[in-house]
C-alpha cells in the first residue's frame, strides 16, 4: 500500500483495486484485507490476483475528504 494512501484506508471503508470498488476488512501496518463476495470474484478480475501482485489502488474520495478535514480541524484546535 502506498504511504500516501495509508491514512485513508480504514476498516469497513472502501478502496478501488484496479478500478473495482471493494470493502476493506482488517488494516495492518503491512497492508489490508478485503471482503469480497463470490459474485465479485465471478464477474471481475480480482479472483485472478495473487498476494504480492502489483495493482492500482485508489482511495475513496469521501473518506479522503473526511480524513483531511478532521486532520486540519485537529491541527487548528491542537
Neighbours of 54 (CB within 10 A): 7
What is the per-residue pLDDT for 58?
Answer: 92
What residues have CB less than 8 Å from 39, skipping those under 6 apart?
Answer: none
Q: Where are the domains of the chain?
A: 3-77
What is the per-residue pLDDT for 33?
Answer: 92
Q: State whether CATH 2.40.30.20 applies to domain 3-77.
A: yes
Which element (helix H / strand E) includes 38? helix 38-43
What is the per-residue pLDDT for 5?
Answer: 86
What is the per-residue pLDDT for 77?
Answer: 75
How far does Cα 41 stand from its chain's mean position?
Answer: 17
| Distance from C-alpha of 74 to C-alpha of 51, rounded to nearest angstrom | 36
Segment-wise mean pLDDT, segments of 10 residues, the chain, 78 residues: 87 94 92 93 93 90 92 83
- pTM of the predicted structure, to 2 decimals: 0.78
What is the per-residue pLDDT for 78?
Answer: 63
Amino acid at each position: 500500500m502506498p504511504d500516501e494512501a495509508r491514512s485513508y484506508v480504514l476498516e469497513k471503508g472502501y478502496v478501488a483495486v484496479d478500478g473495482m470498488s471493494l470493502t476493506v476488512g482488517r488494516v495492518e501496518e503491512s497492508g489490508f484485507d478485503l471482503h469480497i463476495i463470490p459474485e465479485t470474484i465471478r464477474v471481475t478480475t480480482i479472483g485472478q490476483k495473487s498476494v504480492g501482485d502489483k495493482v492500482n489502488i485508489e482511495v475513496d474520495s469521501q473518506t479522503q475528504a473526511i480524513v483531511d478535514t478532521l486532520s486540519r480541524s485537529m491541527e487548528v484546535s491542537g
